[in-house]
Amino acid sequence: MNVEEHTHGDVHGDLHGANVYGGLTEDHGDTHWAFGTGFDTEPAAELTAPVPAGVDAADLAEYCLMLGDDALVYSQRLAEWVSNAPELEEEVALANTALDLLGQARVLLARAAHVEGSHNGTARDEDQLAYWRTDAEFRNVALAELGAELDFARAIAQLLIFSSWRLALLHRLRDSADPVLAAVAGKGVKELTYHRDYAARWALRLGDGTELSHARMQAALTWVWPRVDELFRTSDVERRLVAAGVAVDPAELRGEVDAVLDEVLGRATLTRPQLPGAGTIGGRGGREGVHTEALGHVLAELQSLARQHPEATW
Amino acid sequence: MVTATSTAAAVVGTVVDPEMPMLTLADLGVVRSVEVRGDAVTVTITPTYSGCPALAEMRADLATALTGAGYRDVEVRTVFSPPWSTDWITGDGRRKLAEAGVAPPGRVPRAAAGPIPLSLDPPSSAAVRCPRCGAPATEELSRFGPTACTELRRCPACREPFEHMKEI
C-alpha cells in the first residue's frame, strides 16, 4: 500500500550527506531511487466527490470497506504465490491478478476514509484502514481470507469462485449512484473478466486432465464450497444501500454466478459439491466482522511491518 | 514564461510511458486533458489498470517536463472514469508498438447486453499477427505478461516469443 516516497534518509537516520543512494535520485523532486519504488499518494479526482443525496455516509463508508477488504485480503493471499507458483507464467498471472485487486482496494479504502472523514471528522487514510484495523474491523467475506497453502488446485477453485462473483457484482455496480463505486466497477469489470477466464481455463485443464489433476481439483472445490453461500447473503448495510441506488444486492447474483460455475464444472467433468454453507455466528458473518482464524494470519503478514515501525517512511 | 495551451500540450506530448518508453503518454491514450491558466497547468491522466504501478512515475515525469518548460504551478490529476481502453491508443502508438516488437491490441469488441460471457476455449491463434516476421497466426503462451497491459505469445513461423498488448 502507501509506503510514502520520502527520502531514504528517514529510515537510515541522518545520513543525507553520506547516503549511498543519494546519487541515484534526480534533482527534480522525484525521490524514487528506482522505477516502481514510489507509490502514488495523490488522491484521484473522484475520491472526494460528495456523498450522494439521501445516502447515509456511515453506510457508504462501510460498503466501501466491504468491497475494498475483499480485494485487499484476497490480494494478499494471491501474493503468497510469488516465487511459489508451479510455473513462472502462473506466478506472473497470479501476481498480476493480485495487483489489479490491490489497485481496486486502494481506491475503495481511500473512498471509505474520505466518506468517513466527511461524516464524523476522522482523518484516516487508506494506509491506516489497511494497517491499523483489527480483524473484527475488517468487512471481507471468508472466501477472501482462505489460505490455499500452495495447493494450486485450491488457488484455482478460490479464484474461479471469487472472480465469477466479483465480476457479476461489479458489472451491476457500474450504475451505482456513488461515482467512486461506479468508477472502480467500470475498470474492475475489464480486469475481472481476465481473472475469471484464467481461473476457468485452469479449472478445465485440471478437471478434464489426468486422474490425479481431476481428483485434486474436485477436492479443492470441496475445500472451498462451504464459503460460497456467504457471498450471496445480504447484510443490513447492503440492504439499505440497495434501496438508495448505491449497492448491489448480492442475493441477486446467485443465478448468474451459478450459471457460470455450472458451465465451467460441466466442461471440466467436475461435480458441484453438495455441501451446506458454513453459516453465520449469531446471524453475523464477514460483513459484520466475524471471521475465520485465517484472517488473523493474513493480517499478521500484511500489518506487521507497519505496526513495528509506526510512521516509518522509506 | 509560456502560456499557450498548445505549448503545454506539446510539452506533455514529449513525456514517455515509464514501462513502455517507445510510447508517449499521449500515444498510450492516458492523457485526458491539459488545461492552462497563466503559468499554471493542470494535466489530467487516467491509469491503464487499477493497480498500475507506474502512476507515480507518470505524475513525476509530467511535473518535471512542465516545470522544466517554465510552468510554475503544475498539477497532475488522476481520474478513473471513463475507464481507459486500448482503443484509445493512437495510430502512431500502434505503429510504434509494432516497430518495437510488441503486437498492438485489436479493437475491443462491443460488449453485448447482459452478463459478460466466459471464454473457455483457447483463444484464436489467427487474431494476433507476429510483429517480427508478420506471420498472421500466433499462439498464446500466457494471458499475463511482464506488465499489466501485455500478454505473452509465440510465433510458430519465426519461433520468436513476443508481447502483445491485450485488449481491454
H, E, C per residue of A161-189: HHHHHHHHHHHHHCCCCCHHHHHHHHHHH
Question: Chain A closest CA to B102's CA: distance in Å?
Answer: 18
Interchain CB distance below 8 Å, A256 and B61: no
User: Which residue in chain A has the smallest CA separation from B76?
Assistant: A42
Beta bridge partners of B34: B43
Q: What is the model's pLDDT at position A206? A: 98
- Inter-chain touch B59–A102, beta carbons under 8 Å: no
What ipTM does this complex have? 0.89
Sign of CA dihedral A205, A219, A147, A239: positive
> Over 70: is that where the pLDDT of A96 sits?
yes
User: CA B70, B73, B79: angle at the middle one, nearest 5?
Assistant: 120
CA distance A126 to chain B (A): 14
The tally of CA atoms less than 13 A away on the side-chain side of residue B40 is 4
Superfamily for domain range A45-308: Ferritin, core subunit, four-helix bundle (1.20.1260.10)
Q: What is the pLDDT of residues A157-193, one digit of tens each?
A: 999 999 999 999 999 999 999 999 999 999 999 999 9
Closest CA to B79 of A184, A194, A247, A36: A184
A198–B144 CB contact, under 8 Å: yes
Please give the domain boundaries of chain B with CATH numbers for all domains: 5-78 (3.30.300.130), 90-106+125-165 (no CATH)
Across the A:B interface, residue pairs with CB atoms under 8 Å apart total 139
Q: Which residue numbers in chain B have pLDDT < 50? A: none
Percentage of chain A lying above the pLDDT 90 cut:
79
A199 Cβ neighbours under 8 A, 6+ residues apart: A156, A159, A160, A163
How many C-beta atoms lie closer than 10 Å to residue B126's C-beta?
Answer: 9
Q: What pLDDT sits at residue A39? A: 56
**Predicted local confidence at residue A38, as pLDDT:** 54
Query: Is the Cβ pair A187, B57 closer than 8 Å?
Result: no
Spatial CA neighbour of A96 closest among B55, B144, B54: B144
Q: Is B33 helix (H, G, I), strand (E, B) or coil?
A: strand
- CATH 1.20.1260.10 in chain A: give the residue spans: 45-308
Q: Who wins on pLDDT, B124 or A239?
A: A239
> CB A96 to CB B144 under 8 A?
yes
At position A84, the amino acid (one-letter code) is: N
pTM (2 d.p.): 0.89
Over chain A, what is the mean pLDDT? 89
Compute φ and ψ for B152, nearest 5 degrees.
Answer: -105, 135
Q: From the CB of residue A33, how many other CB atoms can be counted at a distance below 10 Å? A: 18
Please give the C-alpha separations between residue B111 and each of A256, A259, B117, B121, in angstroms, as whole numbers. Answer: 17, 19, 10, 18
On average, the pLDDT of chain B sits at: 89
Residue of B nearest to A32 (CA): B57
Looking at chain A, which runs of residues are DSSP E strands?
A: none
Contact call for B115 and A264, based on CB within 8 A: no
Whether B101 contacts B145, CB under 8 Å:
no
Instruction: Give A-chain residues touching B161 at CB under 8 angstroms.
Output: none
Q: Taking CB atoms and an 8 Å cutoff, what residues of chain A touch B122?
A: 201
Q: Tell me the residue length of chain A.
A: 314
pLDDT at position B123 is 62
pLDDT tens digits for range A243-301: 999 999 999 999 999 999 999 999 999 999 999 999 889 889 999 999 999 999 999 99
Q: What angle (nearest 5°) sits at the alpha carbon of residue A82, between those of residues A76 and A86?
A: 125
Instruction: Give the single-character DSSP code of A266.
Output: H
A289 CA: distance to closest CA in chain B (Å)? 26
Q: Does B13 touch chain A (CB under 8 A)?
A: no
- Nearest Cα to A217, choosing from A233, A231, A205? A205
Specify whether the CB–CB gap between A65 and A128 falls below 8 A: no
Please give the grid coordinates belonging to residue A166: 466479483
Contact call for B18 and A260, based on CB within 8 A: no
pLDDT in the model for residue B146: 82
A52: which 3 cell numbers?
Answer: 450522494
pLDDT in tens, A4-59: 333 333 333 333 444 444 444 444 444 444 444 555 566 677 888 999 999 999 99
Would the CB atoms of B142 and A101 count as touching at under 8 Å? no
Look up residue A250 and give its three cell numbers.
Answer: 448480492
CA of A276 vs chain B CAs: smallest distance (Å): 27
Report chain B's C-alpha Rg in angstroms.
18
Query: Nearest to residue A200, comparing CAs of B123, B141, B137?
Result: B123
Which residues in B lie closer than 8 A to residue A46 (C-beta atoms)? Answer: 79-81
